[in-house]
Homo-oligomer: A and B are copies of this chain.
Amino acid sequence: MNLFQSRTVLKQAVNSHLLERYKMTEAHMTYGDWTLAQRGFDQRFLGKTEAIMTQGNGYLGIRAAEDERYTGEIRDTFVAGTFNAFDENEVTELPNMPDFLGLDFALNGERFTLAKGDVSDYIKELNLQNGVLTRSFTWTYKAIKLGVVFRRFVAKNDRHFLASQVNLTNLAAEPLHVSAKTGINGQTTNSGSQHFTDGVKGLVENKYLQMAPQTTHSKIDVVLTLETTVANANILKARAEMDRRAIFMNHDFDIPAGESVALERRATIYTSIDNDIANRSLTNLQKIAIDALKSKEAASFDDLIQESQEAWDAVWNVHPITITSQNAEDQLAIRFATYHLHTMTPSHDNRMNIGAKGLSGEGYKGHTFWDTEIFMLPYFIFTHPEIAKSLVTYRYLGLDGAHKKAASNHYQGAQYPWEAAWPTEGEVTPVWGAVDIVTGQSMKIWSGFIEQHITSDVAFGIKQYIDVTGDSEFAREKGYEILLDTAKFWLSRLEYNSELGLYEINDVIGADEYKEHINNNAYTNYTASWNIDYAIYLIKNLMNTRSETYYALDAKFNLKVLLEELEEKLPRIFLPQPTIDGVIPQDDSYLSKKIIDISKYKTADGVDGLFHDYNLEQVNAMQITKQADVLLLLLLFEGLFDKELKLKNFEYYEPKTTHDSSLSLSTHAILSADLGKMDQAYDFFTRAKSIDMGAYMKSSDAGIHAASLGGIWQMTVLGFGGVRMIDGKLRIEPHLPEAWERLEFGFTYQGEDISVTVSHDFVSVDKENNGNDVAFLHKGKSYILQHTLQLSLKEGNS
């Protein structure tokens, strides 16, 4: 396994050397109802708030790097979908755009930096409700005493727009001379890899800085435009300045004692792949960009925040979740998750999907993984079906890429890429990783070849989308095709073991990435089998309809022949069966490996304690699981397994699971809630919510953990709220943890908006009384919801 490219160990490499530096810091996190804040500045922990306070609107994502620059910062600006490969040796990645937000101040000729002087009342705060980032403090240095308030936001109502304001109050007795240098700085890179040409740049109408670089290989034009104004100031001098890949505006002004000056920046980004612009010629984009800034000139900074706030309100008004908990941060966690899910998701364009780090860091290159279908898509399916539709349509647009991947591996059908970028590109997992630092050998990254469960994960997501939304048009036009094409892949993938008379799936990586090149991974085999099984069901149903859809798909697949093969192979797919102790083997060899006590690694602050004692090869030879594998299977396909078996497997695998992946805790949380282990479930919830939001200052450097944020919603609504879509049937079966007094949430089911209120004693389910009945299950019984239903949650009552 490649030490530096695989998904786990990359994170470990980051944490490992920094862990010991994290001892104590003046910087620490505090939490409000809608806000999270860092109090105190510490240059060692820039990455934390840069990532978790990332602002965005799905089109644009900007890490919350400080305006004034620091060594060690990661200053990233991303626009969804603008993928480019650095060279032929590298895969495509989301390029770091030129930066708008750097700001160099000289105050009475002194360079302003928090590294020197006295900094008091430092607060960096993100307001999740309106997406505004505020940074305020008082800076005292020599004779300078300055009150500083920075505010910035990425407009939720206008995907192309962002703005920043800094208010400077001269708290000293003497006038203060300020030189401020702002601009568009394209000297930014992805850790040294430059994705853009230098591009034309200039000052338009003596007022707007504009730069138009182009991605070097994908040839996407980007137009960046910035307007800088200084209010309440006697401007001594304003002067444009150009550098390589950069264009700046210098403002010189004085602030009399006791007075304030506001410097404001407004910026837009447009690209030649924007789907909201008809004429995407460079000259038109340049013109549109200026017009957009002009159209906002009458609006104040606060007016603009208000407009963005209203767009955020529309998000918050969709099925708001209220958690009445002993721990106020539980409520904040769901808001934090919701904020980021909307910040990172390119809902505006179905050619784009969610990156594993959203738009908050260079980690995983902006690529889309199974994280979308298994961890984030459920949120959108249940609450924003139109966004879910865009996300599943991305997979439909990805069929060509999936065919390409299957063909290149000598398989048939649609084999989805482990990592996906532009949908038609196909597989973009790096093939070769860096050289192993110890052996000096170049190591192959296997995930792109053998982590194959992604294909059934995609199919699973499509099925969930169709079942929950009832979007039969999508099903007919796109969804069924994916479900058949993925099944066709699995048919070609199965390997016949003539000795056993069974079909196996050998040499894979399962959900647990600590085990490479294993045979018959339970999660992989079961989900592949389900994929085939469901395709059979689908074909038979379609045959009965003799619909247009049937004929269209028949022309593509020859359904009769396909059905025969599916039916021939399905019963002979090897599905790992429980041992005499009721344990489903994670794979053929797992249960024969050595068992050690890993409890001490599960309490470490970081994730890599294990690797201080063992190397990856040793871990591979032990019963150590990085993340939910068998347990994820038991959760997603709960109907296949009884409760006793789940309990046995939970008790077997949980002590062996390190949760080194951020994709793990939420599964264990929901499953343990299902099993009635509410204290444990709440403990998982608490740990999961802390991955990004918590006090540990180093966990998010490479970006937020998108799947984990989807997991927060899933733990809340699917776990404690007990909502589940199993075998095409809705179930609502809440169970609150002790710390929660009440949970209110909602979701949209086949077009009907349903509200749920849960206490320890009862659950109330409500919808508009519009004649559309909704059937659901609760503790094994069927209910029909017309308007409102209240069910007792006390044991013995139902």
State the A residues within 8 Å of B (CB): 3-4, 13, 16-17, 20-21, 23-24, 43-44, 69-71, 86-87, 89-90, 106, 109, 111, 113, 115-116, 179, 181, 186-194, 197-198, 200-204, 206, 216, 239-248, 250, 252, 434-442
Contact = CB atoms under 8 A, between A and B. Distances in A.
A238 to B, nearest CB: 11
A17 B109 CA distance: 12
A24 to B, nearest CB: 8
B204 A440 contact: yes
A189 B187 contact: yes
A65 to B, nearest CB: 12
B436 A244 contact: no
Contacts of A109: 20-21, 23-24
Contacts of A434: 198, 200-202, 242
A4 B192 contact: no
A388 to B, nearest CB: 33
Given A87-B216, A202-B441, 14 more contacts: A17-B239, A21-B179, A69-B71, A70-B71, A186-B192, A187-B189, A190-B244, A192-B245, A193-B194, A193-B244, A193-B245, A198-B434, A203-B438, A240-B438
Contacts of A436: 202
13 contacts: A43-B113, A86-B194, A86-B197, A87-B197, A87-B216, A115-B116, A187-B192, A192-B246, A194-B194, A201-B434, A202-B436, A202-B438, A202-B440
A191 B196 CA distance: 13
A216 B17 CA distance: 31
B437 A247 contact: yes
Contact of A192 (B17, B23, B244): B244
A44 to B, nearest CB: 5
A785 B250 CA distance: 63
A13 B188 CA distance: 21
Please tell me how many copies of the chain the complex holds. 2
A792 to B, nearest CB: 55
A194 B189 contact: yes
A188 B187 CA distance: 11
A190 B186 CA distance: 12
A328 B85 CA distance: 56
B438 A206 contact: yes
A437 to B, nearest CB: 5
Contacts of A201: 434-435, 437
CB-CB nearest 9 A-B residue pairs: A187-B192, A202-B435, A115-B115, A202-B440, A194-B194, A191-B244, A192-B245, A69-B71, A240-B437
A501 B206 CA distance: 49
Of listed A24, A200, A436, residue having the most chain B CB within 10 A: A200
A242 B4 contact: yes
A323 to B, nearest CB: 37
Given A106-B21, A241-B17, A43 B111 contact: yes
